[in-house]
């Protein structure tokens, strides 16, 4: 299944440190407040510094800044995080963010394998078949989906999302639609796959 999500489909709310936009939550009937979701993908505008991360016991998190360097502080340990560098940590860790930025967040239950990859213009990336591939456009792009027997192209505008679920495409290639100062960073690919139980 291929599903394109527009910016008008997202859910935006205010929080103590700024504004957050929920891009995708699964299952669809779950909620952040109830902590009954399998995974959630969002962006946030952090306007207060410092700001404290909410507790998500039983989950892991991946965060990356989309524009400015930030610092993450866990007790006396400070992690300097450059833009577009994903950082993974346990959801029950008391973490504080120092700095203001636009960020990208993935929160997921620990029974999932999750990968977050920055895609560069023109480069191809393997897709996972038995899982979900979620592409978040950082600029206007052409998405080329590649399989042995077929190809398909889809246009995404900046901020739009493409869900690729249970499809037989093997690779994805991103082509920027115009020259940009960020041309080498075209999209974020989040890949989610259930861990196998013994």
Percent of the chain whose predicted confidence (pLDDT) is above 90: 64
The position carrying tokens 């901020």 is 159
Q: Which value, in Å, is the radius of gyration of the alpha carbons in the chain? A: 17
The stretch 116-135 carries a mean pLDDT of: 93
The stretch 134-145 carries a mean pLDDT of: 95
Res 48 pLDDT > 80: no
pLDDT of residue 75: 83
pLDDT of residue 38: 96
pLDDT of residue 19: 87
pLDDT of residue 128: 94
Cβ contacts of 134 within 8 Å, gap of 6 or more: 24, 41, 161, 162, 163, 164, 189, 190, 191, 192
Q: For the whole model, what pTM was predicted?
A: 0.92
Res 112 pLDDT > 80: yes
pLDDT of residue 183: 53
Lowest-pLDDT range, 8-12, 79-83, 94-98, 142-146?
Answer: 94-98
User: In the β-sheet with 171-176, what is the strand arrangement from edge to edge?
Assistant: 124-126, 171-176, 141-146, 151-156
pLDDT of residue 180: 60
Q: Is residue 170 classed as helix, strand or coil in its secondary structure?
A: coil
Instruction: Give the residue from 120, 72, 67 showing the smallest Cα distance to 93.
Output: 72
User: In the β-sheet with 77-81, what is the strand arrangement from edge to edge?
Assistant: 51-52, 96-98, 70-74, 77-81
């Amino acid at each position: 299944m291929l599903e394109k999500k527009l910016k008008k489909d997202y859910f935006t709310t205010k929080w103590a440190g700024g504004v957050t936009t929920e891009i995708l939550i699964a299952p669809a009937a779950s909620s952040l407040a109830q902590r009954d979701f399998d995974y959630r993908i969002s962006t946030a505008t952090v306007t207060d510094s410092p700001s404290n991360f909410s507790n998500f016991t039983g989950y892991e998190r991946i965060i990356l800044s989309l524009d400015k360097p930030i610092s993450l502080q866990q007790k006396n340990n400070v992690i300097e995080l450059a833009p577009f560098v994903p950082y993974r940590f346990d959801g029950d860790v008391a973490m504080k963010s120092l700095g203001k930025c636009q960020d990208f967040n993935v929160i997921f239950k620990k029974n999932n394998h999750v990968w977050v990859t920055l895609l560069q213009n023109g480069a191809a990336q393997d897709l996972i078949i038995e899982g979900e591939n979620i592409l978040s456009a950082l600029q206007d792009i052409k998405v080329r989906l590649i399989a042995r027997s077929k190809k398909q192209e889809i246009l995404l505008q900046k901020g739009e999302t493409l869900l690729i679920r249970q499809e037989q495409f093997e690779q994805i290639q991103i082509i920027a639609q115009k020259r940009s100062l960020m041309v080498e960073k075209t999209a974020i690919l989040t890949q989610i796959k259930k861990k196998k139980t013994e």
